[in-house]
Amino acid sequence: MWTDVLLILDATLRISVPFVLAAMGGIFAERSGVIDFGLEGKMLGGAFVAATVAHLTQSAWWGLLGSIGIGIIFSMIHGYASVSKRGNQVVSCVAINIFAMGLTVVLANAWFHMGGKTPQLPKEARFMSIELPFAEEFRNIPIIGEIYYELISGHNALVYIAFIAVPITAWVVFKSSFGLRLRATGENPLAVDTTGISVNKTRYQALILNGILGGMSGAYLSTAHLAFFVKDMSAGKGYIALAAMIVGKWRPYPAMFACLLFSFLFAIKDKPEIFDLLKGIIPVKLLNSFLDMSPYILTIIFLAGFVGKAVAPKAIGQPFSKEK
């Protein structure tokens, strides 16, 4: 039982990586007042580019760099449409998501002819698990050692990057000069402008960070979690990360915990035997289909504010304009 719990938590951690990365990316964009429903598209685009570049270079790290590149390109398109041209931010996001859906499959088929898949990556071109020092030695120490061995050690580099990104995001948002401007821009851009800071520049800076993190979340899907890209592989994860961010009230740590909660649902979905107890009561098929739906349902419950009212940055979604 104890090992089962550890294994599920371990899976939770691994599943949570794209959510955490994307949610941190979302925090940067939305704190600056730019809506980001486009995480889904960045994740999908990042996954495709990472897998492709990793396949061509046989290096996961080049793949990661590629995914960051596509993430930034997408967030700059979003920035051009919604910051510079003051277009509708939601429309721009949906456009990017659908564009990414089409582009990834068109390119995958044109280049690899595998029905929207990219070739399987060998071990060298993937992010493989890293054994932390002394994991083996501590393994037999009850509880602490087991947690260290099962839960903390033995993940790939992106898992550690994701969980380091959380405190870094928190520090940048709340303790850095850039963070002050970022938060002010999302709350009252006019006030920011009158202090001589460029609102649009701040938003573009935020979007670059957003693109980096959004792209990385995709790289995890195709070069760490799985070893290839497959059509529509983000499967709503970008939207779920967004919901986690909202529930976390645009704060890094609470958002991370919300991501973990979602991931927990995905993790137990893969281990239905823990529901053995319920088997006599609820038909298995019903239970399974409910588990399949549960992350989506939880997203809706979160967004509906049944776990506390979220107050968004005041200027979110409003393009900045000085003219009357």
Partner 1 sequence: MSTVAIELTDINKYFGNVCANKDVSLKVESGTIHGIIGENGAGKSTLMSILYGFYQADSGAIAVQEKSTEIRSAHDAIAAGIGMVHQHFMLVDTFTVLENVVLGTETGFSLQESMQKTERELQRLEKDYHLEVDINAVINTLPVGLQQRVEILKALYRGADILILDEPTGVLTPQEADHLFRILNELREQGKTVILITHKLREIMAITDNVSVMRQGEMVAHRKTSETDREELAELMVGRKVLMQVDKAPAKPGSPMLTVKHLDYIDDFGVRRVKDVSFEVHCGEIVGIAGVSGNGQSELMEVITGIKPFQKGQIQISGQTITSTVRADAATMRRFGMAHVPEDRQRRGLVTSFSANENIILGYHKNPSYNNFIEMDRDFIIQSCKKQMEHFDVRPDNPHLRASLFSGGNQQKLVVAREFERDPALLVVGQPTRGVDIGAIEFIHRQIIAMRDAGKAVLLVSVELDEILSLSDRILVMFDGQIMGEILAKDADEREIGLLMAGVRKEAA
Partner 2 sequence: MNERRTETLVVTLVTVTNLLIAFFISGVVIWALGEDPWFALKTLLYGAFGYDEGLGYTLYYTTNFIFTGLAFAIGFHCGLFNIGAEGQAYIGGLGVGLICLWLEDWSLWLVFPLAVLTSIILGGIWGAIPGYFKAKRGSHEVVTTIMFNFIASVIMVNILSHVLRPPKEMSPESREFAEGVWIPQMHEIFDWFGINITQTPLNGTFFFALICLVLVWRFIWYTRWGYEIRTVGTNDTAAVYAGISVSRNIILAMVVCGGLAGFVGINEIMGSSHRIMLNFQAGIGFTGIAVSLIGRNHPLGILLAALLFGILYQGGAELSFEVQAIDRHLVVLIQGLVILFAGALENLFRPQIEYFVKQLAPQ
Stretch that binds partner 2, among 45-53, 155-163, 206-214, 234-242 (CB under 8 A): 234-242
Q: Which of 133, 196, 280, 286 binds partner 1 (CB under 8 A)?
A: 196
User: Considering the rule CB under 8 A, would residue 200 count as an interface residue with partner 1?
Assistant: no
**Closest residue by Cα to residue 156 from 215, 216, 71, 213:** 216
What is the Cα–Cα distance from 197 to 189, expressed in whole angstroms? 9
What is the Cα–Cα distance from 241 to 2, expressed in whole angstroms? 29
* Site for partner 2, residues 79 to 98, rule: CB under 8 A: 81-82, 85, 87-98
Stretch that binds partner 1, among 139-147, 156-164, 193-201, 268-276 (CB under 8 A): 193-201
Q: How far is the CB of 113 from partner 1 (least distance, A)?
A: 48
Name every residue whose Cβ is closer than 8 Å to that of residue 259 and which is 6 or more positions away in sequence: 16, 19, 20, 23, 241, 244
Q: Which of 184, 208, 227, 243 binds partner 1 (CB under 8 A)?
A: 184
Name the residue nearer to partner 1 (CB basis): 202 or 263.
202
User: Considering the rule CB under 8 A, would residue 88 count as an interface residue with partner 1?
Assistant: no
User: Considering the rule CB under 8 A, would residue 194 count as an interface residue with partner 1?
Assistant: yes
Give the single-character DSSP code of 312: -
What is the Cα–Cα distance from 39 to 14, expressed in whole angstroms? 19
197 membership: H or E segment, kind and range: none
What is the Cα–Cα distance from 131 to 148, expressed in whole angstroms? 10
Q: Which of 87, 145, 154, 179 binds partner 1 (CB under 8 A)?
A: 179
User: Considering the rule CB under 8 A, would residue 207 count as an interface residue with partner 2?
Assistant: no
User: Considering the rule CB under 8 A, would residue 285 count as an interface residue with partner 1?
Assistant: no
Name the residue nearer to partner 2 (CB basis): 115 or 122.
115
Tokens of 127: 């992010």
Tokens of 81: 């449409």
What is the Cα–Cα distance from 115 to 272, expressed in whole angstroms? 30
What is the Cα–Cα distance from 317 to 284, expressed in whole angstroms? 44
User: Considering the rule CB under 8 A, would residue 84 count as an interface residue with partner 1?
Assistant: no
Name the residue nearer to partner 2 (CB basis): 167 or 283.
283
User: Considering the rule CB under 8 A, would residue 317 count as an interface residue with partner 1?
Assistant: no
**Closest residue by Cα to residue 203 from 97, 323, 41, 78:** 78
Residues that bind partner 2 (CB under 8 A): 37, 77, 81-82, 85, 87-103, 105-107, 109-110, 113, 116, 235-236, 239, 242-243, 285, 289, 292-293, 296-297, 299-300, 303-306
